[in-house]
Structure 1
């Protein structure tokens, strides 16, 4: 989950707005301003904890592909001019999956992100590896830079339509999903369980083979205590009203989380991988990102970045751009070519 500052022009119906001179209007504005300020502070803190790269961009060696942007902030700035564009390497609708990588990879962005700024590092890397790569935009109207705001069931329906299109165009039987935050946890899991991603009667007919979640919002978050505080102060509903229902859906104990977690975390026939950083300050406590396997237990892999590279300080926002995380995702997608990440790249 990410909580950047909310835009002042988010739409409200006339019935929701009191005249500016009225006392109820002023009280309502104060109540709304508090959650907006809290969420804005969370986003700024997350941005401050993202990994930094103060070196000038250099050309990739001839033997290496162009890996896109090194920092999500740079990609975010570019995405403001192309909010609906796919990231580099994604959405080639004529791509034909080969025998080595027969399943297309669908990338699912997080809350308040979009496909371009979330995946401009991973998408070109996977395309260079030979995958057919696609990146969905959900949870906001076209033209909006800040996506992933809608209620999780609504975004799950959009994801379902996108995956169906990918499978139809590529001729593949199944896809692999790679997501970040909301897009790696509650959203794709809701799609798998309630929006047609799996077939409970015949798992061989599942549309998804593997779900890989980077810093996934799987079981709700306290947002370093701020979401808990907002609930106690009865500010969560106003925050969701102005900032999108996805905010409330991803808190601990939400109706969506309760429905999703009932009966267990996993579904038959699907593999699951979580890639979690202990430095996460958005989906907290970080251990809530892990999935608890049903049977067989070997279909779930919970990976903690610092167990592999103890000095890696990547946080929530920067995790899809962390070279160690990128390598772990590549390993999960194709274990036959897996290699230990170079921890020096994280420094």
Structure 2
């Protein structure tokens, strides 16, 4: 329990002292034990004060500003032991105290120097610094523990400690009529003494009726920039061996073995290696052998409270009389943000049981919050980080606010990919290799922000190729043997390229233009990419393929409007096909049905290296041959990926124009075009009949590649495409026709 009360501000050098003898009193019927207390007490005093004042100089021509600050820290670790054959306790303290006081004076003035007519600015800066350091080990400390019927008080008295004080003075000048040299001098160490300290709780701490011979708690007082805190873990009339504390540590990314204590409020991240530490004390007269058994406990859990504890680790230790020893082991937290059934696990409970000669003599349970791995979100062609804007709310709703989304480019100073600003724009873009480098920077940012050694990646469309390149070429390895990227989940990724990219790139090339990102999505380009991008480094791959749109861009199967299912699936064993548009794959429904089950995995799945990481070829699908069409995995030599006809049209704001289309005899006919969703397209045959429409503002108009398809025999003739703009700016439309889909 923490209680904040006012306290007069005291500098470290002016602490109160006391010479009262240590006494432990037990009153009432709360405890029948007559022994003194054993355990540990920690005391800390932190002070931070500052002041700033600006006054007019006596000359009236300038100002003088004085800034003062004091930072002081005092800590004491006290080992508490029962006095021999007495009812009171004694303590030995290790004390460390330091303080730094700094005063800075900045004087500014204006004056006219001899033989001048114009005044000039003059300044002087003066810095005085005083630093105190003091401490000692094994110092006698007074301990008072007073119990009443249902409350108790803990008091400590810490002795004077010796130390040293040193200082420095410096001065610098500018603009004086007669130049002044800067000065600097140091003050040698001088002996000093930090006064004794007495601190007590307010007597309102409550005894545990079920265990009145054990006291654990914390108490604070704060006022005027000073905070004093007392924490204790005490026991009496118990066995010689006891548990002092159970603590958790993880490593501060990016430095392996840089262990830091985990606070209960902050917790750790799923996949981090956690060092679990138990401190064992021996209050008896002889050295004792002890065993600490660590268990995963479900007691207090809403759903699994009846589930038995699960053993984690067992460690043995010898503890000399009157001393303490630490036992530690490293625990892999992978999967502990979730239960195995996909429910969020908001806290993990670790129980330490201390055994002496095979008999349990003490136990202690501590909570460890394990947050899910950060999710790095990688956008695709003609997109940016805003495609993932709802995802933080989605993750928060699915687990807690500790499940964090990191859309690449949201904070561009940490990395920003370039894949085209919006659908249909044809400006310069990064290559896949360059975007993979930006992704790597953002992954590292997410790791530092969350102190996470492992992340998950969810990638849409071209973002999957960028992520594959990052894993292949740039993903680092760690000493824990697990891949940095725990899972790559791809949504509509053209893992064998996109025939829509083939058509549109060919249309651009016929006019002497090109777009890097679009070129890299061609089937021939991705075939070359796959030939050299082969390393998965143990990262499980999963992919979602859409099957909602009829033939487009010579994709002869149901597809997502951009990517054929066989292209997305490629050689990835964990694949799912859903009736979802390419541009809708970043929505809530695909997250719930496809993404979350692959990220919200519990300890069992996390440790199994389960079937999701298996990689088996999709039957009958070789890599696509350049400039050839793949139909259900079989090369069709009669078809090519180029357009029958292509054209680039400029459309002024509000303009409607008609584009003549030459049509040959064919089994069917299709037209694919790239345009903003403010443009409507109407296809009219040679008899003046409207055969297909793609209207502005509809779901179909929001697709990257918009298609019109006529599934009937076509006779050679001249058709017409009517384009109408509802935009306020000029738009450029790239179109291509194709035929004989089968």
1:291-330 equivalence runs, <5 A = 291-293=570-572, 300-305=573-578, 312=579, 314-321=580-587, 323-330=589-596
Q: Rg: which structure is higher?
A: 2
Q: Distance in 1 between matches of 2:536 and 2:487?
A: 11
Q: Distance in 2 between matches of 1:162 and 1:207?
A: 13
Compared CA separation, residues 234 and 149, structure 1 to 2 (3 A): closer
Structure with larger RCO (C-alpha < 8 A, sep 6+): 1
Give the Å deviation of 1:191: 0.8
1:215 corresponds to which of 471, 492, 498: 492
1:123-142 equivalence runs, <5 A = 123-128=392-397, 129-130=399-400, 131-137=403-409, 138-140=416-418
1:85 is aligned to none
* Contact 2:505 2:518 (8 Å CA) reproduced: no
Q: Distance in 2 between matches of 1:236 and 1:204?
A: 51
Any idea what the Cα deviations from partners look like across 1:241-266, whole Å, max 9, x if unmatched? Answer: xxxx1111111111xx3443126756
2:384 is aligned to 114
1:97 corresponds to which of 269, 292, 306: 269
Q: Distance in 1 between matches of 2:547 and 2:467?
A: 22
Compared CA separation, residues 111 and 126, structure 1 to 2 (3 A): same
Give the Å deviation of 1:189: 0.4
Q: Distance in 1 between matches of 2:512 and 2:432?
A: 15
* Contact 1:220 1:253 (8 Å CA) reproduced: yes
* Contact 1:107 1:177 (8 Å CA) reproduced: yes
Give the Å deviation of 1:158: 0.4
Number of equivalent positions: 219
Mind listing any 5+ residue stretches in structure 2 that lack a counterpart?
A: 1-265, 271-335, 338-370, 410-415, 549-558, 606-742
Any idea what the Cα deviations from partners look like across 1:134-161, whole Å, max 9, x if unmatched? Answer: 11123339xx678994211111110001
1:270 equivalent to 2:539? Answer yes
1:228 equivalent to 2:528? Answer no
* TM-score, normalization by structure 2: 0.27
1:251 is aligned to 522
Larger helix fraction of residues? 1
* Contact 1:198 1:205 (8 Å CA) reproduced: no
* Contact 1:273 1:302 (8 Å CA) reproduced: yes
1:25 is aligned to none
Compared CA separation, residues 124 and 270, structure 1 to 2 (3 A): same
Give the Å deviation of 1:205: 5.4
Q: Distance in 2 between matches of 1:115 and 1:232?
A: 29
Mind listing any 5+ residue stretches in structure 1 that lack a counterpart?
A: 1-93, 294-299, 306-311, 339-347
1:206 corresponds to which of 474, 480, 483: 483
Compared CA separation, residues 234 and 179, structure 1 to 2 (3 A): same
Any idea what the Cα deviations from partners look like across 1:183-239, whole Å, max 9, x if unmatched? Answer: 1x2110011112x1254x98925321100011112221111xx62364377349713
**CA RMSD of the aligned region, Å?**
3.5
Q: Distance in 2 between matches of 1:203 and 1:112?
A: 37
Does the residue aligned with 1:140 lie in a helix, a strand or coil? coil
Compared CA separation, residues 202 and 288, structure 1 to 2 (3 A): farther
Q: Distance in 1 between matches of 2:533 and 2:382?
A: 28
* Contact 2:374 2:404 (8 Å CA) reproduced: yes
* TM-score, normalization by structure 1: 0.55
Q: Distance in 2 between matches of 1:203 and 1:272?
A: 20
1:197 is aligned to 475
Q: Distance in 2 between matches of 1:182 and 1:303?
A: 18
